[in-house]
Amino acid sequence: MPPFEGEPLAAPAPAKINLTLEVLGLRGDGYHEIDTVLQTLELADRVTLFPDRGALTVEACGPFAGGTPCDDSNLAVQAIIALCRLTGREVPKLAIRLEKHIPPAGGLGGGASDAATVLRLLQRHWGDVPDETAISAANAIGSDEAYFLLGGTARATGRGEILTPLPDLPERGVVLFVPPFTLERKTAVMFRALDALQFDTGAVTRAFVDRPPGQFSPVDVYNAFERVAFDVFRGLSVLWQQLEDRIGDPVRLAGAGPTLFWIGPLEEGQRVAASAAGLPCTVIQTKTARSLWRQ
């Protein structure tokens, strides 16, 4: 069978937030040991694979296409190459179209989700790629990609590649506040800043996992990077305080930032989004979502 043929394949690639994110220490391989609970959102990119295009290419469109690499450094391209290497297939000549609705470099996992969606589309199209191989391809290119193969509510340990599905979180409203700034090599900078502080114990995540999903509260959200985010992202503390003053609820950091988010009752989402009017951030109202791929 040729590496890829037939009609275009398409699927959404959802954003994520971390409901807990603890950094437990530095590993011998240079990564950090983490313990985190992740949650996918309704907000999603749209990934489409078009066959018979003469070469493996990638194009980006949509409201957040700016800054998306359209060369071999794109994680979706790397995912295809990694999967073909593991399965012994020739790299397919197809075009990847990424319709970007997830703000880039904001801690929401857009690039990793695009890559995982490509892996799932090819896995289903080829029909003979086991989950273990798809996971190996995901882990070959990053730490978040394997989670997006699962999606929904899940716990990730190790460097993020060891996954445990969790019961679905009851549907919650989520409002994202995306500042107009980020940093190059942001995640590495954030981890280096944390290295100077005491690491987490994992107690927060263990307590979160042991709590029935229906008892979840916004005050249960925890992110270790919040301890250094104000120093790393200049101006973030002012925005954070303004948002909390206006909303009257906690606002949290998404992943390694700088995106901030509120999570709470669905019916409160519109009020929360409107409360940020005039502040220096892009506001996106969305909600939690179940996995697209979990059986």
Own/partner long-range contacts of 157-165 (Cβ < 8 Å, ≥24 apart): 157/33, 157/34, 157/35, 157/36, 158/33, 158/34, 159/27, 159/29, 159/31, 159/32, 159/33, 159/34, 160/34, 160/36, 161/135, 165/294
For residue 82, the SS3 value is helix
Gap between the Cα atoms of 277 and 281, Å rounded: 9
Please tell me the total number of residues recorded for the chain in this structure.
295
Beta bridge partners of 264: 173
- Type of residue found at 68: T
| Active-site residue flag, 16 | yes
C-alpha closest to that of 181 among 135, 239, 267: 239
Beta bridge partners of 154: 38, 165
User: How far is residue 220 from each of residues 2, 206, 217, 275, measured CA to CA in Å?
Assistant: 50, 12, 5, 22
Paired tokens of 183: 């940093």
- Catalytic choice (100, 144, 186, 200): 144
- Type of residue found at 84: C
C-alpha closest to that of 154 among 16, 14, 11: 16
C-alpha closest to that of 117 among 140, 91, 139, 146: 146
Q: Write out the H or E segment, with its range, that includes residue 146.
A: helix 145-150
**DSSP code, position 220:** G
Paired tokens of 76: 């979706």
- Catalytic choice (16, 35, 45, 100): 16
Kindly list the catalytic residues.
16, 144
